[in-house]
Amino acid sequence: MNLIIDQGNTTIKLAVFNAFALETLITYDTWNEPVIEDFLSGYDIEACIYSSVARKCDEHVDFFRNRIPMFHLFSSDSRLPIRIGYRTPNTLGLDRIAGVVGAYYEKPGVPILVIDAGTAITYDLLLADGLFVGGNIASGIQMRFKALHTFTGRLPLVSFEGDIPFLGDDTFAAIRAGVIRGACYEVEGYIRDLTHKYPGLLIFLTGGDAFLFAERLKTPIFVDKNIVIKGLNRILYYNVEK
C-alpha cells in the first residue's frame, strides 16, 4: 500500500492507496504525532510520498522517512509523467503539479484546466500532449472575506452562511455576494477564454471550496476533491522502486 501526505497551508491530508484505488483519506487540522502513529499502525505501508507547500516540514519528513521503507520527498527535482513548461519550475507549487498530473491520468490526450479552489484559487493548463504551460494564482474565498475586513475601517468579517443575492441589500449580503459572485465570474471568465483558445478543453474543479463553485457554474465540469492526492500517488510510482 502507498501512503500519500499532502501538507497544505491549513491542513495535512493522509491518504492510503491500494495501487491506484483510494482506500482511506483523513484530514488533520494540526500535527498530532500520536494520532498519526495510530493511523499508520492500521496499514501495511510499503511506499510514501510527502508533498508540502508549508515553509517548515523537516520534523514531519523525518517522522515518515524513519517509518516507511520507500520514502520520496516531492520536489522540483522529482520525475514526472508530464513535461513542465513553466519558466521557473523551482517556484511552481507542488500541489499545482500534482493536480495536473491527477487530471492527466483521468482524461489523457485532451487539454485540461485544473481549478483548485482553496486558500488560493489556482488555474493551471495542461495541453493535450502533456505539456504544463503554466497558470495563474488568485485569492481564495476566505482570503477575500478577510482582506475586506482587515484592510478597511468598518467592513465586517463575513462568512459563507447567508443569502447570496445578485445585489446585496445590506452590508453583509453585499460583501458575501460580491466575494462569491465575483469569484464565480472570475472562474467562468477563465473557462470561457481558455475554451475558445483550446477547443475540447476539460475542466477539473478541486479544493475545499470546489462544491461551492460547482453549484453556481454554468459550464460542465468534473468535480474531484481528491485530484491532487491521486496525482501524488501517480508521481510516487515514478520515483520509487516498487
Residue 93 marked in a binding site: yes
Residue 86 marked in a binding site: yes
Q: Which of the residues 95, 124, 209, 224 is marked catalytic?
A: 95
Domain with CATH 3.30.420.40 in the chain: 1-73, 81-242
Burial label for 38, CB within 10 Å (0-12, 13-18, 19+), is exposed
Q: For 52-105, what is each residue's pLDDT tens digit?
A: 877 666 778 888 888 898 999 999 899 999 999 999 998 999 999 999 999 999
Nearest 5°: phi and psi at 71? -120, 135
Which CATH code fits 1-73?
3.30.420.40
pLDDT of 56: 63
| DSSP one-letter code for 135 | E
Provide CB contacts within 8 A for 125, sequence distance 6+: 111, 112, 113, 132, 133, 134, 135, 194, 198
pLDDT of 10: 72
- Nine cell digits for residue 176: 458575501
pLDDT of 241: 67
Fold classified for 81-242: Nucleotidyltransferase; domain 5 (3.30.420)
pLDDT of 123: 97
Residue 12 marked in a binding site: yes
- β-pairing, 112-117 with 202-206? parallel
In the chain, which ranges are E strands? Answer: 2-7, 12-18, 21-28, 47-52, 70-73, 83-84, 112-117, 120-126, 131-139, 202-206, 222-223
In which residue ranges of the chain is pLDDT below 70? 55-57, 241-242
Residue 119 marked in a binding site: yes
- Nine cell digits for residue 194: 481558455
Q: Cell numbers 497551508 label which residue?
A: 9
Residue 96 marked in a binding site: yes
Report the predicted TM-score, pTM, of the whole model to 2 decimal places. Answer: 0.90
Residue 9 marked in a binding site: yes
Annotation marks residue 77 as catalytic: no
